[in-house]
Amino acid sequence: MHPRQPRSRSALKPDKKQTRRTDKPAPAAYHSVSKTAEKRRKKPHFQSGRKKSTPLPLEEQKIIVFNKPYDTLSQFTDGQGRQTLADFIKVKDVYAAGRLDRDSEGLMVLTNDGILQAKLTQPTSKAAKTYWVQVDGAPSEADLDKLRQGVKLKDGVTLPATIERLDDPSEQLWPRTPPVRYRANIPTTWLSITIVEGKNRQVRRMTAHIGFPTLRLIRVSMGPYHLNTLLPGQWQYVDKPK
């Protein structure tokens, strides 16, 4: 079932700039330059391993948006036989821009462009990431204000977050397997949470900190990229926003 937009938000609104590429991407990996050439540059680019990436020609860029299913690792290999990105994406030389927990769902961006990868993941970039989050219970506005202002976690105080309530989108979303536990005497609440940092399991720890554990978490946007109507396991090429 395709997710329709809840009345209060537009996180899954299609982006006209994100159109499927009809041409087959060229098989290119990260481009690197010599150390001598790098020294001439005033500002260093994103470093991947021992080599630094330079801007890729548009015709060589690969950018993929993927709807990661629940219980899938956000990596291409696993020694324990668990489901990974390789079970869905057969494209070579693309790497995930950031991670998504195994028990989380939704948008991942994969690319062979090291500079784009850095813009989406480096803390200094402050790329916005929006999640639809189902929490256990009914937080008050005072509870949500704590998240808006920042809460103290073990690894530091979170930056202010944008928090909004959502109309329940459960009937518009794909079913999760296994389903979220249901308890008739305890309500659940859906929130749209936007953060500009990426601490480990940050959103889950934020909601737990104010007493409302996360039951389901779906990333719907990351920087200029959106999940749109992709179903779990589906992916497509997109163009780099201008």
Number of neighbours of residue 241 by Cβ within 10 angstroms: 12
Active-site entry in 71, 87, 93, 101: 101
What is d(CA 107, CA 201) in angstroms, rounded to the nearest whole number? 15
DSSP 8-state secondary structure symbol assigned to residue 49: T
**Burial status of residue 66 (CB atoms within 10 A of its CB: 0-12, 13-18, 19 or more):** buried
- Would you state the structure tokens that stand for residue 168, as one six-digit string? 């329940």
Burial of 92 from C-beta contacts in 10 A (0-12 / 13-18 / 19+): exposed
- Decide if 101 is catalytic: yes
Rounded Cα distance between 157 and 139, Å, is 20
Looking at the annotation, which residues are catalytic? 101
